[in-house]
Structure 1
Amino acid sequence: MRFYNNYIKPLYFSRRFYWSLAVVIALFLVSYAWPFLFRIGQLAFLFVAVVMLLDYVNLFFNRKGVTAVRELTERFSNGDENKVQLVLKNHYHFRVHLKVIDEIPIQFQRRDFELSTSLAGEEQQRLVYQLRPVERGEYIFHDTNLFIKSPLNVVVRRIKIEQEQMIKVFPSYLALRQFELMAHSNNLAEAGSRKLRKIGHSLEFEQIKEYVTGDDIRSINWKATARKGGQLMVNNFMDERSQQVYCVIDKGRVMKMPFEGMTLLDYAINATLILSRVALIRQDKAGLLTFAEQIGHFLPADRKAAQMGNILEALYNQQTKFLETDFEKLYALIRSRVTQRSLIVLFTNFESLAGLQRQLPYIRSIARSHLVLVVFFENTELRQLTEARANDIESVYVKTIAEKFIHEKKLMVKELQQHGILTILTAPENLTVNTINKYLELKAKQAI
């Protein structure tokens, strides 16, 4: 995206100018005691004035001076480093020194952001910097300010280039591409996913092929072997396809908790995006459901080509709510709209056993018709408190309370497992890998 330049050209003076002026004033003051310095002061003042005039002419009589065009990608990836480029062009015939203040979006809260460089005469240069957003939504870049100094370094010319640009910050599609390539190459282990031994055969027969070392001898097709005159032939099976995988995201206040600048909702959204893509690559159908005190967005499971784009657009502007989530409405929607047995991956968070028990009847009701995987989060700061050394009574009290809450999280896992509900308790940074591992494990066990 490019917007060309409108110029506003105020004048500033450099530190060199003020130091030179201070020397001239000092000469005039001292000349009261030594009159011969008065003439030197006059000559020094004249010299500073001539240099200033010459510097002004050099900088301001070239209309363009230095131009800058900001180049952005079509969208930013949330939680990742995103590249921003400024294409600078020096239209002077001499070297200039630049201080560049690019007015980056307010969401970054950086008031001291500036870049420095120098350009030879007629040189063009790309100035690159990185930005890491931690919120989804619309980000607006404003003007680019250039402060230009010539080699004389007396006058500073400011050029304000008006190039307001809006860019959308989407869930982490950079991580999505990484997992997508690995899923296509069956090399998800590089991202931390475990390789799992398949248990038994899938229900979907693919073909009969010649036996090679390593094939399961239990798959030998003896009739086909007889027809081939003794060449061993085996039945080849493929993973069962077209299973429905729904990612269900809780947008209530429990998902507002921050971790390394991002909310738990953002981690859940990034994991949903990647899990949906892996499921589609594995020929399953991916769907999406968001909810809080009301049902948010419902996208029926499908494997059509546009499904990933639909999921990305749906996740782009989801925000947490500050009310208690209504699991009863979630159960009612799933019961009426999701009629085929599916894998329901529920991203939520519980901070107390009582909070889980209030919602457990609805989760159990969903689990009667579907395979439910509840994913919730460890409080990593509590873990740090338990590992810290207690040196006084207050520290002992804080450490004890932290251990109590950690133990309660483990009790929640046991409570869910006792009712036959699959569970992942994970740190936010490990959420994506742990969720994909569980999905692959369930596929290998043919549990879906």
Structure 2
Amino acid sequence: MKPIKNFYLSFTLTARFYILMGVVVFLFILSFIFSSFSDLPYFAFGILISILLLDTFILFRKNNINAERILGPRLSNGDDNPVYIWVQNNYPFAVSVNVLDELPIQFQIRDFSYKLNLKPLEKQNLDYYIKPVKRGIYAFGDLRIFVSSAIKLVERRYSFNAEKEVAVYPSYLQMRRYELMAISNKLTEIGVKKIRKIGNSSEFEQIKNYVVGDDYRHINWKATARKGDLMLNNYIDEKSQHIYCIIDKSRNMQSPFEGLSLLDYAINATLALSNIALLKEDKAGIISMAEKEGALVLSDRKPAHITKILEVLYKEKTRYLELNSEQLYITIRKKIKQRSLLVFFTNFESLSAMRRQLPYLKKIARFHLLLVVFFENTEITNSLNLETKNTQDVYFKTIAEQFVNEKRQIVKELNQHGITSILTTPQNLTVNSINAYLRLKSSQKL
């Protein structure tokens, strides 16, 4: 019974068969009207059934299709992740193949397919990209292959057990991209500015080739004359400084932008910034906070420390309550004993919301170098450029201007109290955060 059931589940008649069957039915109708057509419908029907049986026989005689999905052990949140599929035709004739991949339910895609034409014994590889926008477990289903011969009356379905659960982590692809740029001294190519060092208190390290963005005042003219290329005195930055990324995971960070929540943007930036800090031989740590204390990773620079940070960030979720600024201050005072750079990722929607947290931010800034990073609402900012056509448009534009001006006022008020701040768009968060870290580090304020 099982072979019969398997045959029934994998056997499909194509649209071509139904069209030809419709022609046969039409011939039967004509045979009732015209006696000269009495034998033709039976002859056509017999030929159609014979070809159908032949097509079924050559497709179902053996299992002649192999396929596999190749997927990494984890996916990177907010990035295009490659998925590879290979399909091999073991039939002695050419076939048409329709590849259906069962994507995780989070993507809400039910008709994802690729069509291929495979020659005898040919193997083809195809790839596509998926972009998850939420962290968590993504479950892939089976891989379905529909095969038809040149006759195209029958389609055979092959099902390959490709079920796999893959975890979506914070954007480690972005982290690696910044890491490679930092190692090759090409961070300027992706927007990270070359920061001029203040003074000469750093220790001399080596003479190196000049690259665009280096401080020309450090050019070693004697070495340049000998070498024939511009050579530069390179100085070692201060090391083993403590860098903490503080992530607000209250409801203010749930707002979406291009699919990702502000919390996920902050988490991705935290991972990249922590890795850059470790490459600069500083010590990186993280704190998350909502209405109560969340994750805490004390600053360190061990080789496996970035993996520990990645695992902790993967588990972070939005809390739908207000941020407890008092608890944040208590946690910092208890857990962080050394003066540190604290990069606080949060979101102020109004001036009054910032002022509720300001007393605690001022207390934190007394003991640490505090950098507050919050988000610009790009939809509101873009609405300022829209043409006003009626009274309602004027009203909305006026309200938008008030929101934009209030965000700028937040920056000014924080600066007045000695708190450095960044107002940034979500897509530029990582670059602006790294720039601020390098600027503060070079200024030797820490």
Could you state the TM-score of these two structures normalised by the residue count of structure 1? Answer: 0.91
* Distance in 2 between residues matched to 1:247 and 1:76, nearest whole Å: 23
Aligned-pair CA distance for 1:237: 4.4
> Partner residue of 1:322?
320
Whether 2:390 is the aligned partner of 1:392: answer yes
Which contiguous aligned blocks of 4+ residues in structure 1 show a shift greater than 6 angstroms?
207-210, 212-215
Cα separation, 2, equivalents of 1:236 and 1:277? 22
Verify: 1:411 aligned to 2:394, yes or no.
no
Which residue is 1:429 aligned to? 427
2:3 corresponds to which residue? Answer: none
Does the C-alpha gap of structure 1 residues 28 and 61 become closer, same or farther in structure 2, counting only changes over 3 Å? same
- 1:343 maps to 341
1:375 aligned residue (373, 383, 402): 373
Shift of 1:378: 0.3
Match of 1:194 in 2: 193
CA shift for structure 1 position 235: 9.9
Structure 1 residues 236 and 271, CA gap change in structure 2 (3 angstroms): closer
**Residue aligned with 2:438, SS:** helix
Q: Distance in 1 between matches of 2:113 and 2:352?
A: 50
Quote the Cα distance in structure 1 between the aligned partners of 2:241 and 2:25. 84
CA distance in 2, matches of 1:173, 1:318: 15
**Cα distance change on mapping 1:207 and 1:20 into 2, 3 Å:** closer
Amino acid paired to 1:405? F
Query: What CA distance in whole angstroms lies between the structure 2 residues aligned with 1:47 and 1:209?
Result: 85
Secondary structure, aligned partner of 2:38? helix
Structure 1 residues without counterparts, runs of 5 or longer = 1-6, 219-233
Match of 2:379, SS? Answer: helix
**CA displacement, residues 281-324 of structure 1 (integer Å, 9 cap, x when unaligned):** 11111101111111111000001101110111111121111111
Deviations 1:1-45 (A, max 9, x none): xxxxxx784211111100100000000001111112121111100
Aligned-partner Cα distance in 1 for 2:424–2:233: 39
Q: Secondary structure at the match of 2:240?
A: coil
Q: CA deviation at 1:65?
A: 2.8
**1:253 partnered with 2:251:** yes
1:225 match: none
* Cα distance in 1, alignment partners of residues 276 and 205 from structure 2: 24
Distance apart, 1:91 and its partner CA = 2.2
Residue 147 of structure 1 deviates from its aligned partner by: 1.2
* Distance of 2:121 and 2:203 partners within structure 1: 67
User: What's the counterpart of residue 40 of structure 2?
Assistant: 40
Query: What corresponds to 2:265 in structure 1?
Result: 267
Gaps of 5+ in 2: 1-5, 221-231
Letter in 2 for 1:308: I
Note the C-alpha offset of 1:162: 2.0
* Mapping 1:86-97, distance limit 5 Å: 86-97=85-96
1:413-446 CA-to-partner distances (Å, cap 9, x unmatched) read: 1111111000000011111111111111111111
- Residue 367 of structure 2 aligns to a residue whose secondary structure is coil
**Aligned pairs, number:** 424
CA contact (8 A) 1:205 1:235 kept: no
* CA distance in structure 2 between the partners assigned to 1:122 and 1:67 by the alignment: 11
Per-residue Cα deviation, 1:187-207 (whole angstroms, up to 9, x for no partner): 2111101112211123x5356
Secondary structure, counterpart of 1:32 in structure 2: helix
The structure 2 residue matched to 1:291, chosen from 284, 289, 292, is 289
User: C-alpha distance in 1, partners of 2:234/2:203?
Assistant: 6
The whole-number CA distance in structure 1 between the counterparts of 2:238 and 2:35 is: 101
Q: Secondary structure at the match of 1:246?
A: strand
Partner of 2:241: 243
Equivalent residues of 2:288, 2:295 under 8 A apart: yes
Q: Distance in 2 between matches of 1:207 and 1:29?
A: 95
Q: State how far apart, in whole Å, the 2-side matches of 1:329 and 1:129 are.
A: 45
1:136 Cα deviation (Å)? 1.1
For residues 211-264 of structure 1, give each alpha carbon's deviation from its aligned partner in whole angstroms, at most 9, with x where no partner exists: x9967599xxxxxxxxxxxxxxx9974211100000000111111101111111
Map Cα deviations across residues 68-113 of structure 1 (whole Å, 9 max, x no partner): 1111012111111111111212221111111111001011111221
Matches within 5 A, 1:8-27: 9-27=9-27
For the residues of structure 1 that align with 2:188 and 2:235, how far apart are their CA atoms? 22
